[in-house]
Structure 1
Amino acid sequence: MTQDSIKQKAVRYLFAGIAALAVVHALGRFSFTPLLPYFISDNMLTITQGADLATINYFGYLIGALLAVRYSKPKFIKKYLLIGLVGNVLITTIQCFISHFDLLLLLRFLNGVTNGIVFVLAPALLLEWFIMNNKPQLSGLVYFGVAGGLLAGGLLVDSTATFFQAEHRWIPVAIVSLLLTAYSTTQFVKVQVERPDYKDKDRRQTQNSALFDRRSTPLFLSYIGAGLGYILPMTFLPTLAHDTISEDSIWIKNVWAITSLSCLVSIPLWNWIGHRFGDRFALIYTYILQALGVAAVLLIPPGAGVIACAILVGGGFLGSVMCTQRLARYFQPHQGPRLSAALIAIYAGSQLIGPWLAKLWIEHGGTLLQSFAVGLGAFIWGLFWIWRTPKT
């Protein structure tokens, strides 16, 4: 293959990965966040039912991600990636016609499972191909699919809100997801990876290495705070905006777009900060900014607080993800799939707790706004432990 041919394939495959993550993680998963206040106003769901649907989705994501680690070898990866991607978009399409809560619980669980599978396997497949073709630096750009998809999902939901009701509000999301999936699948079937497995010596070193050691344990503990801290704003912030800001405010319809745009802009920023000053340094400031964002919701007037939370949490959470993964791999260079499984389990598992705690608090007379204190405490926890993570 010529260099021009490799470059062309790299661009196509990268866009296929971006599109796949947009479909499963941003559109299929997080479009539920801007949709929830509309579902509540349509009397299709209550806030506690919304919390249940979010929790079951995050549980499915944990299961799917752990399943994906088992099939992350080159001979399995493409097959199960395509199964997960097609299954995810079919589930999103079915949601357009289902309003029964029990069926929605099943669909949101399956959405989470397929999301977890694709979210692990798509970047892994691309990383293998990029390494084979001496372009590993491109692999991280696939996460633009999360930020770009969040922005697209929010704009789709709000711009079409007057045309649809109840479960039919999923229709614009499903149409875009189907188009992106068609492109991704046509590209992924062309990807060929034939990297050999680890040598016996490397395999023994991986199996005998301790995953949690003196250097990595504080990092893993901090990641619990990252998952629990960001999930309440990323699940309930538009609903909180509807509850606390006057109905004629322009910010109600734009709070998710602000969150998504902040996320999109922050990716190259945190990537540069981590490269220039170190990932530990960058992580400290992702926790500080996100803690300030949640504190703003709790301490300053509702309108300004919600917008500050959208900017600071939206701008910080992907930085926490990227820098934690890189720092963990620096501490544990031979762990491979075990490391991925641990990070996924910690992050996804901590996400399960947030909506569940919010539901319990509301059922016992609290407010959605007050439940955000859990997120503030989580970010303080994360900041404490990342500060105790070794510099080298």
Structure 2
Amino acid sequence: MHSHLKTTDLGAPDSGTPGLKTSALTAASVGLLALASAMGIGRFSLTPILPLMQQDAGLSLATAGWLATSNYLGYLVGALLCIALAPRPAASIRWGLAGVGVTTLAMGLTDWAPLWLGLRFAGGAASAFVLVGTSAWAMPILRHHGKDDWSGHVFSGVGIGIAFAGAFGLVAAFDAWSSRATWIVLGAVACALALLLWRPVGAGMPSVAQPDQPAPGRALPWPAIVAAICYGAFGFGYIIPATFLPALAKGYIDDPALFGMVWPVFGAAAALSTFASGWLGRGLAPWQLWTRAKWVLAIGVLVPALWINVPTLLLSALCVGGTFMLITMAGIREALRLGGTPAPLAVGVMTAAFGAGQIVGPLLVSVLQRSGHAFAIASLIAVLCLVISNCVLLYASRRAAPSA
């Protein structure tokens, strides 16, 4: 959910930089809406629609796991392509948003599972282009206007998008919409956002983002490698409830007004945690915020694996939704702290580890489907990985702290 691109400064106020045409408020608002579409719809829309697909399309948990894996793999490939090709930020946002809209819309126009896999892969890649482009477009504009702290507002779009998609899924379940109709309407919303943001994105046009290059001859320090492995465990742990919580709730709760609340709560917790990140992390080193949030995440992954009821599902949504963005931001800051001279390389390795971890999560659920307890077993494995990796992270970060 992040990139390691750098962008040049927008220049002095009298430099005639085109980025001056865009105010900080516009940049923050456009960035928020772009990430809401890319992440809330492009990446995580399957989660609230999954219960509907199970009901009217007979979708199994195993097939759902493959669909989620395809989307996460597409996201990883899209991020790597952005790093390799370094496209213009405005073009990344524009065409990425269009791709999110078209692929989401097309999900409701077919019932052929192989095509679903391709569409979810393409939607994941498109969402990565939006994320990378938004980071490279909005951040320099905010920096120029002295509003660096507004970056939290931009990334709150992730949680807001998840909450919107979840609330829409709740309405669809309550009104007995079909999964196809739900996909089509969400796709139409994403297409509308792509059209709405097309012109404002072109007005800013900050300098073209270029991939950072690690210093030649420098290897990645071992604490940064350890942190990357722990970050991969985070990706593996959070993605299991982030993919299957609403479907799990539907299996045990008949009332759509109750089981449909899980995903909006998840998104709202993510958005609020982003706004509160400065206060929550005050006086803490990045690894301290990371490890403390990760204990809460482990609790959120554990409770629905042991007990299934409304309180445990909502507690899981709060714990996982309220920590995954905090850990994302703290993890990147820790990578920069530990990486030393090749810090961009450290962030790149973290991104790859995270992507691999979130691909393994739903894939494991699909593999364990025959056991009859796929979600519970996969969740317990994830909790074990989270606990072990957090202990390792505590030890490695404390040892690295004096020399960092």
TM-score after normalising by structure 1: 0.89
Q: Which of 147, 153, 176 is the matching residue for 2:159?
A: 147
CA 1:335–1:98: 2 relative to 1, 3 Å? farther
Question: 2:60 is matched with which residue?
Answer: 46
Offset from partner CA, 1:288-308 (integer Å, 9 cap, x none): 001111221133453322121
| Whole-Å separation in 1 of the counterparts to 2:26 and 2:347 | 25
Within 5 Å, give how 1:52-131 maps onto structure 2: 52-72=66-86, 76-131=88-143
The CA distance in 2 between the partners of 1:101 and 1:90, in whole Å, is 17
Residue in 2 that maps onto 1:242: 250
TM-score (norm 2): 0.87
Give, in whole Å, the separation in 2 of the partners of 1:196 and 1:371.
39
The answer to whether the 8 A contact 2:75-2:124 is kept is: yes
Q: Which residue number corresponds to residue 28 of structure 2?
A: 14
Partners of 2:22 and 2:204 within 8 A in 1:
no
The superposition leaves residues 151-208 of structure 1 with CA deviations (integer Å, 9 ceiling, x where unpaired) of: 000011111332531322212312321232223222111113237979xxx96x6233
2:169 pairs, out of 144, 157, 170, with 157
Equivalent pairs counted in the alignment come to: 382
2:181 paired with 1:168: yes
Q: What is the match of residue 218 of structure 1?
A: 226
Within 5 A, what are the aligned runs for 1:1-392? 9-72=23-86, 76-161=88-173, 162=175, 164-194=177-207, 206-210=215-219, 212-245=220-253, 247-248=254-255, 250-332=257-339, 334-335=341-342, 338-387=345-394, 388-389=396-397, 390-391=400-401, 392=404
Structure 2 distance, partners of 1:239, 1:48, is: 12
Q: Percent identity?
A: 25
SS in 1 for 2:276: helix
Residue 358 of structure 1 aligns with an amino acid whose one-letter code is V
The alpha-carbon distance between structure 1 residues 304 and 137, as it changes in their structure 2 partners (threshold 3 A), is closer
Q: Secondary structure at the match of 1:209?
A: coil
Q: Is contact 1:19-1:145 (8 Å) kept? A: yes
CA offsets per residue over residues 38-88 of structure 1, 9 Å max, x none?
100113422111111011111111100111112337xx3332332222222
Residue pair 2:41, 2:100 contacting (<8 A) in 1 also: no
1:273 and 1:72, CA in 2 relative to 1: closer, same or farther beyond 3 A?
farther
1:122 is displaced (CA, Å) by: 1.2
- Which residue identity lines up with residue 230 of structure 1 in the other structure? Y
Contact kept? 1:270, 1:282, Cα under 8 Å: no
| Contact 1:147–1:261, Cα closer than 8 Å, also in 2 | yes
Task: Report the Cα offset of residue 236 of structure 1.
Answer: 0.2
Q: Which segments of 5 or more consecutive residues in structure 1 lack a partner in the other structure?
A: none
CA distance in 2, matches of 1:111, 1:196: 22
